[in-house]
Structure 1
Amino acid sequence: MNATRPTALIADDEPLLRSSLTRMLAQAWPELDIVAQARNGREAVEMYETHKPTVCFLDVHMPGISGVEAARQIGRGAHLVFVTAYSEYAVEAFAQGALDYLVKPVDPTRLADTVMRLRERLGAAQEAPNIETLLDKLEARLQKKAVPEPLRWLKAQVGQSLRMIPVEDIDYLRSDEKYTLIAWRDDDGKAGEALIRSSLKELLDQLDGTYFIQVHRSVVVNMNSVSHVTRGENETATIYMKGRDEKLPVSRSYLHHFKQM
């Protein structure tokens, strides 16, 4: 480890998130040098062996080997911070003070707290703790496919920007082969669309079923965005959205959501 200037490795399979965390760390911890960025767990381990960074920021879910397995191979050689969409994976470990975690999308205030704790540990020349038992527990949770927290926003690339779309701004979701189209409106009422790689089923499992209802095998709507519904032939219907020209289909299997028709 560099005794005079701390160094870090960032491992995440999403390049925009790697870039975002790099920029945020530059503001929160100017003296920290990002010496390596890895696209998956295997690269993270290899880059750790090459650069021996002081701190490793590891995404929990990565292709190949997970961030937890990468942490196991890195061991006590570096201070570890998990970056995850699922905070329950690291709550116990964090509560015991053994490691820290950041929830995506990373909040600047939360990152500042993490940086403060890391600085304190490095300033006191504390050795990275032995977290083998905690990693066992985290890995067990991963294998059980713990249910993620309800979605609060979706991340989508719009042009060259990574856009954070609040769930309440979404009008509807529609599957498009291997992708899902998100249709939303911003605070000014301007409509937008973007494709993300998550499946419609995966997203539906994480959305609040009070408002988001599947109306077709390829369509989920936010009922707050529905203007009216008209009945069609063969026990189908058509949904009209507030402020949008699109008409969305309701198939026979989902017509029960509008049983008063």
Structure 2
Amino acid sequence: MRNPFKAVIVDDEPPARRLLAELLGEHRQTIHIAGEASNGSAAIELINGLRPDVIFLDIQLTDMLGFDVLKELNYKPFVIFTTAYDEYAIKAFDALSVDYLLKPLKEDRIARSINKLQHFAGGNDANPVWNNIESIFNGFRPRKEIKTLSVKKGTKFTLVQLSDIVYFEAYDKYTYVHTQNGQRLFCDHMLAVLEEKLSADFIRVQKSYIVNKQKVVEIHKYSNNRYSLVLNNQDFTRIITGPSYFGIVKEAFGV
């Protein structure tokens, strides 16, 4: 039988640290708590000094994200995230880390996390968080969302408020902006680029369209894995969603 995993707890809330330590105390044969840290800066120094086998890491700390801590470590421990994010927002962590613990912490989830830790440590599987750290790190960064968009209008460029845009359309290698008052303007961005720039009010519903969710007035079941969206512009434009976007649309509108 291997020695207990040396562990460090990182959380900016003292009650959360105490509770986690108490729950982990029921697994003394498997987990030895070597230290605790209340912020990211202290965690980096502590972890690099102690070099624990596993860290229980809160995603949102007072001075930085938990991912900032990981990027400053000089080695790669196993990681179990703790978070108050809702379950939908962290589904990806099932694949990206040893495990995640959703607050409020529960004893059965602690036991399951320890079992997963033993599985990873006992095999040849790489710790997935280190293979995907950049993508998940960026995913939890606040996005710099634009408020206006530069579009071509005749021989000049003008700024359009995002709130006035009903949808974007990719057509014949070009992208067009459709506004509330019926204008169709040329946009010098591909839809893939716009997806990264636009606010959460905008959602891609098929390969050729991004719509403003605030401008959708009706949603109809169209066929298997498709919806028909009716938009609040002068023509009450209808857009048929793509089958590969079915889950995204369903989740976005709660239908």
Query: What TM-score, normalized to structure 1?
Result: 0.49
Query: What TM-score, normalized to structure 2?
Result: 0.50
Greater C-alpha radius of gyration: 2
